[in-house]
Chains A and B, each alone.
Chain A
């Protein structure tokens, strides 16, 4: 690997910790980002000449802090900056700094940085944009392209979101255990948002890379908060879902449903990692929604063919999830498992009471149509599929339902 690639890699992996620590010093996001930027520029000049530091993260934090402090002084007194060697000369301070970094506030720095991105006043898309910009370091251009908006518009959105955060009261002292676990839960939800935003993108769309970023953030949290079963569950869930990505779209960009996917395309490395994380989480005997969803994804991952899927177990897991997170969408998903394990009639009865609450939901009518079709109630199935198409969010979704309708039509002709 070239020097430059190594330096860029080191800067990218140092970013969350370094900006988190700089935010703690300066209590201002823009200053922290600028300080980090400044340190990176100096690293590009300094590291190839002097060799890489033993702890690149500590180096970037110290140099960023010195540079920002000098910037403040310079503005105050309008005097020249000290020569470059003085700012970047860290031979003496690096060791104690590195030791201090190992401590608890290192974890809390990263958690705080992620937590401010999920301010409840910010709509989900802004939370995602902010986290990708600040924590992952994606450029505004990359994020704008992914969200299909202009660069200037995205810049403005991020600036507004930052202003909102600046007005908010973020606690900079180390959080207590209760607050820490509340922050972790909010951050986990935000990371999963980033993931699903990427996961919902069709093949080849720029948003697809969000899923990789979310997994990276999940692993980062796992390394900092090693004994949180829900963080293990979250990361496992993302890995197990993302493992299927190579099989989720066909050459024409159409959605391929789980049952029809070529399972040899699934990413075995991600599946192995996901399964290992669930195994770790189970030992804690503290179930949570991410773990249960990951366990469901694991049962799909373990089935060599769709027919091998343990639907009875999936039904039980959805039942557990319904208790933790009662939601009509969870019940709808459970109904799919019930239809496989106990037949379509029981599943149809299960979703009937959901119609009021899911009246605008594409998948509800897709599932309903599918169940009616299995029961041979073709006219009703056709109505449900028409309702689904009217509520489809994307062309592939509509195309998929149309395929069912075509099949019904053909069957109708044959029996006529």
Chain B
């Protein structure tokens, strides 16, 4: 089974870390990640920019672009994509394509990434595993 581990914390605090604090936390986390990579158990790792950098596309009926993060409490996080786009317009275009393919209610919150490790080795083996099961 593949699991996603979603990280929650206060963004104001995290984005006020000094560069030393930042380096320390990242080094400690990298140790855990490296172990998992060696076992070929780690998939993509991403770090998001704060919610102030987010833009949300509301779909279902008339599409609406809203500045800021997804704010509805009656809907839950069900999945995510990582796409490479020239700018926010490009990311919105992808989100609109997804909305056209799945026009029901819901939202796409678009959040730029600060950091991304694809860890592609697992991707290859694990996708085969999921498909087989």
Contacts and interface: CB of A to CB of B under 8 A. Distances in A.
B120 interface: no
Contact of B49 (A226, A246, A276): A276
A397 interface: no
Interface stretch (A142-150, A267-275, A298-306): A267-275
B68 interface: yes
A273 B53 contact: yes
A235 B52 contact: yes
Given A223-B52, A269-B22, A273-B53, A212 B16 contact: yes
Interface in A228-264: 232, 235, 246
A13 B67 CA distance: 22
B89 A283 contact: yes
Interface string A269-310: 100110011011011000000000000000000000000000
B13 interface: yes
B19 A222 contact: no
Given A226-B66, A283-B89, A13 B52 contact: no
Nearest to A227: B67
Interface in B14-62: 15-16, 19, 22, 49-53, 55
B9 to A, nearest CB: 10
A74 B55 CA distance: 50
A402 interface: no
Given A9-B10, A13-B10, A269-B114, A277 B52 contact: yes
Given A226-B68, A269-B114, A219 B87 contact: no
A219 B50 contact: yes
B19 A267 contact: yes
A12 to B, nearest CB: 9
Interface in A197-212: 212
A283 B52 contact: no
B95 to A, nearest CB: 13
A267 B51 CA distance: 19
A222 B112 CA distance: 16
B100 interface: no
B88 A9 contact: no
A9 B52 contact: no
Interface in B81-110: 87-89
B101 to A, nearest CB: 23
Contacts of A235: 52
B55 A280 contact: yes
Contact of A283 (B12, B15, B88): B88
A222 B68 CA distance: 8
B28 to A, nearest CB: 14
A353 B65 CA distance: 47
A276 B112 CA distance: 7
Interface of A: 9, 13, 212, 216, 219, 222-223, 226-227, 232, 235, 246, 267, 269, 272-273, 276-277, 279-280, 282-283
Closest 10 CB pairs of A and B: A226-B68, A276-B53, A227-B67, A226-B67, A276-B112, A222-B52, A279-B88, A219-B52, A272-B114, A279-B87
